[in-house]
Chain A
Amino acid sequence: SQQGEEDPQALSIQEGENATMNCSYKTSINNLQWYRQNSGRGLVHLILIRSNEREKHSGRLRVTLDTSKKSSSLLITASRAADTASYFCATDLNQGGKLIFGQGTELSVKP
């Protein structure tokens, strides 16, 4: 199975609500990153959190990292219809550049 496992696989919410996505991984990491993918497009980087950090914010995004549980969460506050996309976590395994992605969470924000 893959290094990164995300849940839920799909999430549907109303505009204005918060969206939380979770990522679990198996091996030790150098950092964990979150990416967004709009339908039919490439991935775009959202935020990076290092293994010695516990929480990070960027605008409406909040990421937490718990290395003891090998898990991370991405919170999008006050969601908008434009946030509709797939979100992926990626782990840098500190193995000479290996960057492994999870299966993704498909977020749908209804206006």
Chain B
Amino acid sequence: DAGITQSPRHKVTETGTPVTLRCHQTENHRYMYWYRQDPGHGLRLIHYSYGVKDTDKGEVSDGYSVSRSKTEDFLLTLESATSSQTSVYFCAISTETGETEAFFGQGTRLTVV
């Protein structure tokens, strides 16, 4: 299995609080992604990164920010959590787009109450 770890695996937080999810990889892959998965919507891309300090928005980026200060870590921050951000969040990594697959972490289940 690809070396990709998400933390925490489960989190319950209150509305209005900031939350940071961490994705850590040991593969030295260039690309890293954050997705959210909700029933009826499949996986939706939040943000992705194509290198250290290089990030771009995905389909549902409002309310989320990301940072990548090191190759191995990609952080997803919910500035002020809302109930609509209750979801399962997946991180993924890949070497080069266009030619190779993405490897996924095990997911973080976030509940905003």
Nearest CB of A to B8, in Å: 15
Nearest CB of A to B30, in Å: 8
Nearest CB of A to B32, in Å: 9
B104 contacts which of A42, A94, A102, A103 (Cβ < 8 Å)?
A42
Report how far A87 CA is from B25 CA in the complex, Å.
25
- Residues 79-108 of B at the A interface (beta carbon under 8 Å): 90, 92, 94, 97-107
Residues of A within 8 A of B92 (CB): 43, 99
Residues of A within 8 A of B107 (CB): 41-42
Q: Which of the four size classes fits the interface of chain B?
A: 20 to 34
B59 contacts which of A2, A6, A43 (Cβ < 8 Å)?
A2
In the complex the two chains form, is B42's CB within 8 Å of A104's CB? yes
In the complex the two chains form, is A100's CB within 8 Å of B104's CB? no
In the complex the two chains form, is A101's CB within 8 Å of B45's CB? yes
A92 contacts which of B42, B44, B98, B105 (Cβ < 8 Å)?
B98
In the complex the two chains form, is B104's CB within 8 Å of A30's CB? no
Chain A residue with the shortest CB-CB distance to B105: A42
Chain B residue with the shortest CB-CB distance to A48: B101
Residues of B within 8 A of A (CB): 31, 33, 35, 40-45, 48, 50, 56, 58-59, 90, 92, 94, 97-107
New A-B contacts (7) at CB < 8 Å, excluding given A2-B42, A2-B59, A43-B90: A30-B97, A42-B105, A42-B106, A42-B107, A43-B43, A96-B97, A99-B92
Residues of A within 8 A of B (CB): 2, 4, 6, 30-31, 33, 41-45, 48, 88, 90, 92, 94, 96-104
Which A-B residue pairs are the 9 nearest by beta carbons?
A45-B101, A42-B104, A103-B42, A101-B43, A97-B97, A43-B104, A30-B98, A97-B50, A104-B42
Q: What are 23 pairs between A and B in contact, CB < 8 Å?
A: A2-B42, A2-B44, A2-B59, A30-B98, A31-B98, A42-B107, A43-B43, A45-B101, A45-B102, A45-B103, A88-B42, A88-B43, A90-B102, A92-B97, A92-B98, A96-B56, A97-B31, A97-B94, A98-B58, A99-B33, A100-B59, A103-B40, A104-B43
